[in-house]
A and B are shown apart, each in its own frame.
Chain A
Amino acid sequence: MHYPIFDFGMFGPSTLIAVVAIIHVTIAQFAVGAGIATPWLESRALRRNDQVMLAFLGRYARFLILLSFVAGAVTGVGIWFVVGLISPETISLLLRQFVWGWATEWVFFLVEIISGYVYYFYWGKLDPKTHVKVGWIYAASAWGSLLIINGILTFMLTPGEWIATGSFWDGWMNPTAWPSLVLRTISSLSLAGLFIAVVANMQKGMSTDERRHVINEGSIFLVPLALMIPVSLWYFAVAPSTASRLVVGGAVAMSLFFAFGILASTLIGVYAYWGLLKNKRSVHLETALLLTGIALIATGSMEYVREGIRKPYTVYHYMYANGLTIDEIKSINQNGFFASPPLVAYDRDHRQMTAVERGRIIYDVQCLRCHAIDGYNAIRPLVENWTTEMIRDNTRQLHRLRGFMPPFAGTAADLEDLVAFLSTLRTDKWNEIHRTLEEEEK
């Protein structure tokens, strides 16, 4: 209500958020996983005097820095940018409530970046023992960063006692925080393992046996993927039942994405154990890229599910996806939508507007953040073949009809305004059909 609304046009805001978030999550989790994998493999290689692995790890560290130190950081800030445009209320809430969490996370990130540069630039220059220590500092700070962000992200689905107390700790140590942390750590390690296979295959000057050796050693990090199913069960056991229901049939797309994500992850884990660890097989570049591609899609699927099951809220039981809080909706229902005019209508008198004009404003505030008029997740295909009565009835009971939709906020008059606007979205073809049907009925 208190911000202008940004219209993303036909692409729809959710597409942009999804793209930026998936890229960021993948890179950031790779940075965490690779941070743990590299010093672990380095100390193991030093113990065994494994020069092949040591030479490989130097190149792998370079890949890590080039990919994660800028792309990871920028896409992380990119999420702020995108969410700030789409849902400033949500980002404002998350920043104000967790500002010292974000600031602490930044300290972890700063240590991560500097220790990562020292680790890479002083490879072969620092004494091996100190170098491994620097690697572990990088790992600890990267994982610490994940620990904090994970608590804030899971807060959005399960704010727990925070609703009553408003306390940072109640919000951050929420019910889904721990299973989610385990899931993300598993995912991070697996991405590190997969990228070891990719980087090893892209290195020039390595023999087939050397590649096989490096890939087999790195595959240990893929094995925890086999735990995805039990940890996911733990996650859904503590998630709100209404959210869990969406995954087990409440929303077909969500069920399919979840099934794909969980099965793909588990299968990669099983393959890593039998193929790479036990039977010491190798993978070619094409196979490594294929496995990484599947893992990326699985990561994207799981992120989609994480975002999806939270609907219709951005912060469960507190703020809806359109930025309106439960209390605000109560107030609007009582006093009317224009009793406290939204910013988008600040210089206009709503009484002077037509019903369609008022309806458009209501639409912009309550619907546009998820539904473009045309394009991705558009409103027109949903309403173009509805009669006026259907639009009215469905909108009035939206949250009952579709559990993942927020309730309509407004009085009966406001509803009529929105119905008037939505009715204009019907195409000529459907208007013609409706006229014919009405005439036939007469």
Chain B
Amino acid sequence: MIGGHDPMAMPAPPEIMISLLGLTFVLHITVLGLLFASLWARAGAEWGKAGVYDSLRVHRAGVVGFSMTITLGVPPLLFVQILYGKYFYTSSISIGFPWLAVVGYLLVGFYALYWTQWSWMRNKGPSVSGKLFWLIAVGSVLAIGYTYSWNHLKSLSPTPWNHGVSHLSVVHRLLGYFGGALISSGAWVSWFGKYWRSDRAVPKGSAWASLFGGLCLLIWAVTSEHATSGAFQFGRELLLIGGALAIVAGGMGIALHRTELSRWLLTAAAPLGILGLLVQREAYRLETMRAYYDPFTVPTRTQWSTLIMFGLSLVIGLAVLIWLLAQIRRTRQVAKSQA
């Protein structure tokens, strides 16, 4: 039904493409955790008793996290188009306007999140407008996640784009990613706690996020599609371990107040959970699509010179980022010693 291979050859071996897709996807979901942290910290401030100090710090990081999530979301989108372009475009077209609406959700979500902080500062506390903008931001983030999952499920075979994908299956899939991002958000906040609040190193919200995220991840791991071999099974094992660690970390933070151990458990749970999601997703996609499309059989013409250019730019870019971090650190040390 879907036509033959793309007339352009694959620009690098699929192993490289899949690795890059995986690496950038993990970074994307990790930073998404920062955005999640900002959202629940702000909910605590608007509706609960969370301190202004906590929520504003996390919130400011969340605004940066939102734009970084967008920036780090670009390369996975690029590599997906290279690897699975025909299916990705076809499912995008079959969704049509809701797919285009993602652009609007992103804009509305970011500025609503920014406005929430602005509203807090102007009103010096919770306000109706703050709550309203928070809801808009949360709605936008959920809508983005839903649309992406919808498109992903539709792109998995040549039939769903024509016959539809059940909305329940989209929500079900979102559960796993929601859990992963939530655990990541807990890890972020636990480190913020150590950095900014030496008196109580793991804020309570972090432990609850971890607990709830771990549960979501476990439910997803147990109830998702039941391919039981190879990489798919390995992905599920990672999910189970990540989810269990997150629940233990959350329990320790809430009941036992073992903050240091809880933080490290969370720090291990987040990458394991996200890696599990990634391995499971790619294994399931390759397995489901193999009958009619296999990226490993597509003609490849590796563009070595430009691949090297990219590698060099990445090394130089990382060096520049390290230099920037060093400057920040030096500035903080100078400020501390002067204080």
Select from chain A the residue with minimum beta-carbon distance to B73.
Answer: A77
CB interface residues, B 275-314, toward A, < 8 Å? 301, 303, 305-307, 309-310, 313-314
Identify the stretch in B74-82, B129-137, B170-178 within 8 Å (CB) of chain A at 4 or more residues: B74-82
Question: Could you tell me if B82 and A99 are in contact, using CB atoms closer than 8 angstroms?
Answer: yes
Type the 1/0 row for A103-136, where 1 means its CB is closer than 8 Å to any CB of B.
1101111110111011000100111001000100
Total A residues in contact with B, Cβ cutoff 8 Å? 62
CB distance from B253 to the nearest CB of A (A): 29
CB distance from B232 to the nearest CB of A (A): 27
Question: Could you tell me if B1 and A343 are in contact, using CB atoms closer than 8 angstroms?
Answer: yes
Q: A63 within 8 Å of B by Cβ? A: no
Chain A residues, Cβ within 8 Å of B320: 111, 115, 137, 141
B interface secondary structure, majority:
helix
Q: Choose one: B6, B67, B306; the contact of A73 (CB below 8 Å).
A: B67
Chain A residues, Cβ within 8 Å of B307: 100
Question: Could you tell me if B328 and A122 are in contact, using CB atoms closer than 8 angstroms?
Answer: yes
Question: Could you tell me if A113 and B71 are in contact, using CB atoms closer than 8 angstroms?
Answer: yes
CB distance from B339 to the nearest CB of A (A): 13
Q: A202 within 8 Å of B by Cβ? A: no
A52 to B309, CA, bound (A): 42
Given A78-B103, A107-B313; A115-B11 close (CB under 8 Å)? no
CB distance from B109 to the nearest CB of A (A): 9
Question: Could you tell me if A84 and B92 are in contact, using CB atoms closer than 8 angstroms?
Answer: yes
Given A1-B3, A73-B67, A343-B2; A81-B92 close (CB under 8 Å)? yes
Question: Could you tell me if B66 and A70 are in contact, using CB atoms closer than 8 angstroms?
Answer: yes
A interface secondary structure, majority:
helix
Given A97-B8, A118-B327, A130-B327; A70-B111 close (CB under 8 Å)? yes
Question: Could you tell me if A74 and B8 are in contact, using CB atoms closer than 8 angstroms?
Answer: no
CB distance from B25 to the nearest CB of A (A): 14
Question: Could you tell me if B70 and A77 are in contact, using CB atoms closer than 8 angstroms?
Answer: yes
Q: A346 within 8 Å of B by Cβ? A: yes
Given A69-B67, A168-B305; A3-B103 close (CB under 8 Å)? no
Question: Could you tell me if B93 and A2 are in contact, using CB atoms closer than 8 angstroms?
Answer: no
A103 to B306, CA, bound (A): 10
A113 to B68, CA, bound (A): 8
CB distance from A335 to the nearest CB of B (A): 15
Type the 1/0 row for B108-123, where 1 means its CB is closer than 8 Å to any CB of A.
0011001000000000
Select from chain B the residue with minimum beta-carbon distance to A69.
Answer: B67
Q: A382 within 8 Å of B by Cβ? A: no
Chain A residues, Cβ within 8 Å of B9: 96
Given A77-B70, A84-B92, A168-B306; A103-B324 close (CB under 8 Å)? no
A-B complex: 8 closest residue pairs judged by Cβ atoms: A2-B3, A100-B306, A88-B89, A96-B8, A78-B103, A107-B317, A100-B310, A70-B110
Which positions in B face A, CB cutoff 8 Å? Answer: 1-4, 6-12, 20, 64, 66-68, 70-75, 77-78, 81-82, 85-86, 88-90, 92-94, 96, 99-100, 102-103, 106-107, 110-111, 114, 161, 301, 303, 305-307, 309-310, 313-314, 317, 320-321, 324, 327-328, 331, 335
